[in-house]
Amino acid sequence: MRRLASGALLASAVSGALYLGAGSASAEAGARLATGPVSPKPASSTPQLAQTGNTIEIVRQLVQCGGTMYAVGSFTKIERNGTFHARNNIFSFRATSPYAVTSWNPDVNGPVNTITFNGGNCGDAYIGGAFSSVHGTRATDIAEISTSTGGVVTKFRHAANGQVETLLAHGGHILAGGYYTSINGSSADKYMTSLNPVTGADDGYLHLNISGHYQFPGAGPNSTRVYNQQLSHGGTLDLVEGDFTSVGGQARQQAFMLTLGTSRATVTGWTSSEFDKHCVVGHPFYVHAGSWSPSDSTVYFATTGFTASRIFCSSAAESVLTCIVFFRLSSACALRSRESLRSSSRAWILPRSTRGRCRAIRRWRVFAGCE
């Protein structure tokens, strides 16, 4: 998960999500319960972002590798049990009690948006963001770094011409996404690129020809980019969010899905007409995160809010509000229009804080044959 926390690294609730799935809500709830209860009370002694006056500091991603948790974002100081640790945009701590902050300090000079590890190798990490130096070594927006010294692994190329927003290691590839049009010497695959985990070179696994951005009357500035991605539990699908209108020659807005084949990843037929709607002018791109159910039959999307026109996106007046909607997924065909596939029963799932403001919480279905 990305973009989850500001302040403490542990949280007990999520404000809302957009849910697209197959199978009943009760079945999915049962699958989630099978993983065990989570206490509403945070564990004691966990580190947190230190108070820094008016500076807004955030954790963008939190990832475990082995017995260590790695946190990245935009911050300068970590506090734990009254002790302060100077850490610029990245740090690590033990995954089990007493959750001690480690001495590891790569000292990145700009925001770090994402971190990933290649398979079970916890000796090196791959980071992406908006920076120009790591541990005193020049590295522009992407780098492989040692988890023992914090230094740059120079064999892996480390230069992009725009911010890197997301990294995902899978099947011997590092799948990168962001604002860039050139990464590690290649401009062949703009905005989303598969990199060799040893050299950092474009390995050709992705050829998506991503293009376009959102244009409608009064639309605020927005640039083509890949913002976030989530690997399915089965490891065969990748859910991707961003600002685009065409992916792999297919019309896509806000989100798309990839099949991760052996030799190449391809865009699936799945899409949602919900995401073709425009948001308020200040938020053309509004689908910022997603997640998979335990069975991979359902996906959840988090949006930046909800407008009075019942579009699942942002609202200037309700910018922190998110809602939930249900869809059926089919691997064989795309989601059909809501007009033709409205189910007879609606799902009204409203966080208490949103009741009376989020109203159009709906369930849609796609039939197996898409007839």
Task: Return averaged pLDDT per consecutive 10 residues of the chain, 371 residues in all.
Answer: 40 36 38 61 89 87 97 96 96 96 98 96 98 98 98 98 98 98 97 98 98 89 96 97 97 96 96 82 84 89 63 41 41 32 31 38 32 26
Rounded Cα distance between 366 and 19, Å, is 14
At residue 201's C-alpha, the angle toward residues 199 and 202, to 5°, is: 150
pLDDT of residue 118: 97
This prediction's pTM: 0.79
Half-sphere exposure of 277 (CA within 13 A, CB side): 17
Give me the residue label for tokens 């049009």: 181
Check residue 264 and report its DSSP letter. Answer: -
CATH number at 57-207:
2.130.10.10
| Core vs surface per residue 195-221: b (16+ CB within 10 A) or e | bbbeebbbbebbebbbeebbeeeebee
Tell me how far CA of residue 24 lies from CA of 19, 302, 347, in angstroms.
Answer: 12, 20, 10
Half-sphere exposure of 338 (CA within 13 A, CB side): 17
Query: Three-state SS for 342?
Result: strand
What's the residue count for the chain?
A: 371
At residue 34's C-alpha, the angle toward residues 29 and 40, to 5°, is: 80
Rounded to an integer, what is the distance from CA 236 to the centroid of its chain?
Answer: 17
Task: Work out whether the CA dihedral 258, 263, 264, 269 comes out positive or negative.
Answer: negative
Given the DSSP bridges, would you call strands 124-129 and 112-116 parallel, antiparallel or unpaired? antiparallel
> Which strand (E) or helix (H) includes residue 79?
strand 77-80
Q: Kindly state the tokens that stand for 154.
A: 């120079």
Facing residues of 368 across strands? none
Rounded Cα distance between 204 and 188, Å, is 9
Rounded to 5 degrees, what are φ and ψ at 278? Answer: -85, 150
Rounded to 5 degrees, what are φ and ψ at 362? Answer: -125, 160
pLDDT of residue 180: 98
Taking residue 248's Cβ as centre, other Cβ atoms within 10 Å add up to 16
Query: Three-state SS for 273?
Result: helix
> Which strand (E) or helix (H) includes residue 28?
helix 25-33
Rounded Cα distance between 221 and 51, Å, is 32
Query: Domain ranges in the chain?
Result: 15-34+210-371, 57-207
3-class secondary structure per residue, 217-269: CCCCCCCCEEEEEEECCCCCEEEEEEECCEECCEECCCEEEEEECCCCEEECC
Choose among 123, 128, 126: nearest CA to 148: 123
pLDDT of residue 35: 58
Q: Are 366 and 355 in contact (CB under 8 A)?
A: no
Choose among 78, 2, 35, 83: nearest CA to 291: 2
